[in-house]
Chain A
Amino acid sequence: MTTTTGPHPTRRLILQGAASVALLGLGNLPFTAAPARAAANDKYPDEAFKQKNEADAIKALYGKTAEPSDKVKLDAPEIAENGGVVPISVTTTLDKVTSISFFVAENPFALAASYRIPDGTLPSVANRLKMAKTTNVTALVEADGKLYSATKEVKVTVGGCGG
């Protein structure tokens, strides 16, 4: 769909952003055919994207629960400058990362995006989220068969000093 091999670091971010926007809009990001460690990731996760709440979406995608970890670094604004395009990114120092997923707790559908991380790839993903209202954003990292998470509240405001 898009190539992410540009020499320009900014360009790569833009393209990652574009990919995730397309994912949100169409819900059909073609997953690569690389063999996955987790059985849940073998095919396009239709069911997970259909779940309304976060716990159900995580269950449908991974079939297990996550534990919070300070090795998952989620970068998101405290207050969104534009709720329609909220930039977030995740990096992790965990080994053997196989997937990274984003959830927005109170969006109509909680799962926003899920990335497969092939062997030898730096586990670093930037994304943009469309957020209906103030809520928690959670990043999940699947590493060595286990799930780790980081959560941050992102406030979506009507804006203005008021009035």
Chain B
Amino acid sequence: MAIRRRDFLKGAGLAAASLSLPRLARGTETASIYELERFGNARILHITDAHAQLNPVYFREPSVNIGIGEMAGRPPHLVGRAFLERFGIRPDSADAYAFTCFEFEKSAGRFGKLGGFAHLKTLVDRLRGDVGEKDSVLVDGGDLWQGTGLANVMQGRDMVEVANLLGIEAMTGHWEFTYGEQVLRDNLERFKGEFLAQNVFLTEEAAFNDARAFDPATGRVFKPSFIKELGGHRVAIVGQAFPYVPIAHPKRFTPDWTFGIREEELQKHVDALRGTDKVDAVILLSHNGMDVDLKLASRVSGIDVILGGHTHDAVPQPIAVKNAGGTTLVTNAGSNGKFLGVLDLALDKGKVSDVRYRLLPVYSELLKPDPAMAELIGRVRAPHVSDWSEKIATPDRLLYRRGNFTGPMDEVICTALRTELDAEIALSPGFRWGVTALSGQALTMEDLLAETAITYPETYVQEMTGAEIKTVLEDVCDNLFNADPYYQQGGDMVRAGGLSYTCTPTDAIGSRISELRLDGGKAISASHRYKVAGWASVNGRQGAPVWDVVGKYLRSGRMLQERLGTGIALKGVDGNPGIAG
């Protein structure tokens, strides 16, 4: 692929007007957008939600990401032009392509793929080398081990090897838990860094039965934090795992553990780090999601910076939140390996005196892949990749997933489920991982697995009444739009095939969803029973894995004849900058 360095430099030069964005390029031969001005005495590098994407990807950021109540119109709930304006990014720049959906297809041809661990390794080594290995640390916010067919068959072992070579020193988790306790523990045996989670405890039954815990007295299953000396000062990094693992996923994966936000336990722990351990800075490595982190930052004091993930929000600048103890900065570092967060700290005795933060897009065309990492990626992929290289379809349109209500990739999945399983309606989870395929780009089984590879992929067909269907839609919609972020689980709206509806995000649970109709316009009746297909159920199911069902449909070539598009109408959110114009 041709290097379009001129395009990048143009973009970078224009973006440099904004403080937090990459510095103006100086040379033409080096990727000088990665030459950062030195600042402070410690550097923390942060990746999150990479979803096991070992190689560079296309990933379109959302055009619908609505904020409700206090979150309306505030980052991360800005998309497209509103996002560019808020952060001072030029619409024709590489950064506009990396951070937003703006003119995605046009820019994809210009700037190419982002991410890839060999490219990321080059960037990480460079940024650590700039400040000295011992004054820097690399942390991962979770969702590292899941998201590809390879990670699924290797149960995350591939990603542990990659994490070790990349030099990740601490991580927390979310999808990591869906491999179950035994696999998680086996992987952590091999992981050279720390797995941190202040908010995972033994259930009372498990504690009673003396199940394994990091701290039997409190029942904490994992180490809550670790302290590292950086720039001659002590920095504590506290882990916050995804608070709703046993609710968002089958409980059978984590029967002995109970999660939650655990605000009080966190406050106590932060107080102990400050009071007893006399640390100079406290960083929360969080998988709460950005809205939850923003609320938490207003209620828990003593945290300097929250390095956030889960909601896959690529936010170029930290959001400052006031609380009883001062101010906490909240960040979120995007997804799929597209970004590297760089937090430079000026540390003093007992405090952080100043901060500089950048969220650097990992432009694979500007970074030479690290040879050792490229070799490792080739080696872990080798035994499986040929099985998945068959081209199963060539889409005639852009396929992406991310968005609050729907995406063409999920429309394909829903249509496949309805067709292959002979159902009137299909439901598909609103995951935020899953990469983007360009129009005309041949899809392989490996691509399809990158949309579907989970440990509970079984499909099902069942009868549901209209009332039950509405209940499911209302329930998931509340996870997204509850005015109180602590009651949100993250993720997007369940995708519906064969079904149209009107959604009023600003209403309360039970009254957000209306006008439910089948394809063709017939109103859904509350008492009538409908045949519904789906996958990724939290209850045990026995059907064929979703990738086989969708693969069969795509091989049939029928996708090209289908008219995609869902009839979801939104009410009460006119002018919300979380919807691209």
Q: A153-B487, A155-B487, A161-B430 are in contact. Are A14 and B472 (CB under 8 A)?
A: no
User: Are A78 and B261 neighbours in the complex by a CB distance under 8 Å?
Assistant: yes
Is B11 in the interface zone, CB < 8 Å from A?
Answer: no
Per-position 1/0 for A71-99, Cβ under 8 A of B? 00001011111100001000000000000
With contacts A158-B475, A161-B431, A161-B489 taken as known, whether A10 is within 8 angstroms of B494 at the C-beta atoms is no
A160 & B487 in contact (Cβ 8 Å cutoff): no
The answer to whether A79 and B429 have CB atoms under 8 Å apart is no
User: Are the C-beta atoms of A161 and B491 separated by less than 8 Å?
Assistant: yes
A38: interface (CB < 8 Å): no
- Whether B486 lies near A162 (C-beta < 8 A) is no
A161 touches B219 (CB 8 A): no
Contacts known (A79-B489, A81-B259, A163-B429); A158 close to B264, Cβ less than 8 A: no
- For A78, list chain B residues within 8 Å (CB): 260-261, 486-487
Q: Cβ of B247 and Cβ of A81 under 8 Å apart?
A: yes
Per-residue contact bits, chain A 143-163, to B (CB 8 Å; 1 contact, 0 not) = 000000000010101111111
- Say whether B400 faces chain A, with CB atoms less than 8 Å apart: no
Q: How far is the CA of A20 from the CA of B479 in the complex (A)?
A: 30
Interface Cβ pair total, 8 Å cutoff: 85
Residues of B within 8 A of A79 (CB): 244, 247, 487, 489
Q: Which of B403-442 contact A (CB under 8 A)?
A: 427-431
Residues 51-79 (chain A) with a chain B CB within 8 angstroms: 75, 77-79
Q: Which residues of A contact B536 (CB under 8 A)?
A: 160-161, 163
A81-B246, A81-B258 known; A162+B491 contact, CB < 8 A:
yes
Asked if B547 is at the interface of the complex by the 8 Å CB criterion, the answer is: no
Q: Give A157 to B490 CA distance when docked, in angstroms.
A: 14
What is the predominant secondary structure among interface residues of chain A facing chain B? Answer: loop
**Minimum CB–CB distance for A58 against chain B, Å:** 25
Asked if A10 meets B207 with Cβ closer than 8 Å, knowing A162-B430, A163-B494, the reply is yes
A157 touches B534 (CB 8 A): no
Q: Is the CB of B205 within 8 A of A14?
A: yes
Instruction: Let me know if A36 is at the binding interface, CB within 8 A.
Output: no
Residue of B nearest to A73 (CB): B264
Docked pose: A162 CA to B427 CA in angstroms: 8
- Evaluate contact between A134 and B489: CB separation under 8 angstroms: no
Which residues of the other chain, B, contact A159 by a CB distance below 8 angstroms? 247-248, 538
A23 to chain B, nearest CB (A): 17
Interface flag for B60 (CB, 8 Å) = no
From B204, B476, B491, B495, contact of A14 by CB (8 A): B204
Give the number of chain B interface residues (Cβ < 8 Å). 42
Which of A17, A77, A81, A161 contacts B251 (CB under 8 A)?
A81
State how many angstroms separate the Cβ of A36 from the closest Cβ of chain B: 30
> Inside 8 A of A17's CB, which chain B residues have their CB?
204
Closest-by-CB residue of A relative to B410 is A163
A160 pairs with B260, CB closer than 8 A = no
| Nearest neighbor of B535 in chain A, beta-carbon distance | A163
Contact B537 A160 (CB under 8 A): yes
- Taken residue by residue from 454 to 491, chain B's Cβ proximity to chain A (1 for < 8 Å, 0 otherwise) reads as 00000000000000000110011011001000110101
Q: B432 — nearest CB in chain A belongs to which residue? A: A161
| Most B C-beta atoms less than 10 A away, residue of A82, A159, A163 | A163
Residue B499 interfacial (CB < 8 Å): no
Partner of B495, one of A10, A82, A153, A163: A163
B248 touches A161 (CB 8 A): yes
Contacts of B495 in A (CB 8 A): 162-163
Is there a chain A Cβ closer than 8 Å to B509's Cβ? yes
- What are the residues of chain B within 8 A of A134 when measuring CB–CB? 509
Considering only residues 3-44 of chain A, those with a C-beta below 8 Å from chain B are 10-11, 13-14, 17
A163-B427 contact given A79-B489, A81-B258, A82-B251, CB 8 Å threshold: yes
User: Which A residues are CB-close (under 8 A) to B428?
Assistant: 162-163
Question: Once bound together, how far apart are the Cα atoms of A81 and B205, in whole Å?
Answer: 14
Q: Which residues of A contact B491 (CB under 8 A)?
A: 161-162
Which residue from A77, A80, A157 sits with its C-beta under 8 Å from B475? A157
In the complex, the answer to whether A163 meets B205 with C-beta atoms within 8 Å is no
Give the shortest distance, in Å, between A101 (CB) and chain B (any CB). 22
A159 and B252 CA atoms in complex are apart in Å by: 13
Please give me the residue from chain B that is nearest to A10 by CB atom. B207
B493 located at the interface, meaning its Cβ lies under 8 Å from any Cβ of chain A in the complex: yes
Most chain-B Cβ atoms within 10 A of its Cβ — which of A158, A159, A162?
Answer: A162
Q: Which residues from B are CB-within-8-Å of A157?
A: 247, 475, 478-479, 489
Most chain B CB atoms below 10 A, which of A11, A78, A82: A78
- Which residue of chain A has the shortest Cβ distance to B509 in the bound complex? A134
Tell whether A161 pairs with B475 under 8 Å between CB atoms, given A78-B260, A78-B486.
no
Interface centre among B247, B259, B430, B482 (most CB of A within 10 A): B247
Residue interface bits B209-248, CB-to-A below 8 A is 1, else 0: 0000000000100000000000000000000000010111
Could you tell me the distance in whole angstroms from the C-beta of A6 to the nearest C-beta in chain B? 10
CA distance A87 to B247 in the complex (A): 15
Centre residue among A13, A81, A155, A160 by max chain B CB count within 10 A: A160
Nearest CB in chain A: distance from B205 CB, A: 7
Are B494 and A162 in contact, CB atoms less than 8 angstroms apart? yes
Instruction: Give B186-214 interface residues, CB cut-off 8 Å to A.
Output: 204-205, 207-208
Query: Cβ of B264 and Cβ of A75 under 8 Å apart?
Result: yes
Closest Cβ–Cβ distance, residue B486 to chain A (whole Å): 5
Cβ-closest chain A residue relative to B244:
A79
Q: Nearest chain-B residue to A155 (Cβ)?
A: B487
| Min CB–CB distance A17 → chain B (angstroms) | 6
Closest chain A CB from B216 CB (angstroms)? 9
Say yes or no: B538 contacts A10, CB within 8 Å: no
Which chain A residues lie closer than 8 Å to B247 at the CB level? 79-81, 157, 159
Cβ contacts A to B, 27 pairs, < 8 Å: A10-B207, A10-B208, A75-B264, A79-B247, A81-B251, A82-B251, A87-B258, A155-B487, A157-B478, A157-B479, A157-B489, A158-B475, A159-B538, A160-B248, A160-B537, A161-B429, A161-B430, A161-B494, A161-B536, A162-B427, A162-B430, A162-B492, A163-B428, A163-B429, A163-B494, A163-B535, A163-B536
Chain A: residues with CB nearer than 8 A to chain B? 10-11, 13-14, 17, 75, 77-82, 87, 134, 153, 155, 157-163
Known: A79-B489, A134-B509, A163-B428. 19 other contacts (CB 8 A): A10-B208, A14-B208, A77-B260, A81-B246, A87-B204, A157-B247, A158-B471, A159-B247, A160-B476, A160-B537, A161-B248, A161-B491, A162-B427, A162-B428, A162-B476, A162-B491, A162-B495, A163-B494, A163-B534
- A-B pairs, 7 with minimum CB distance: A162-B494, A163-B429, A162-B476, A161-B491, A163-B427, A160-B538, A10-B207
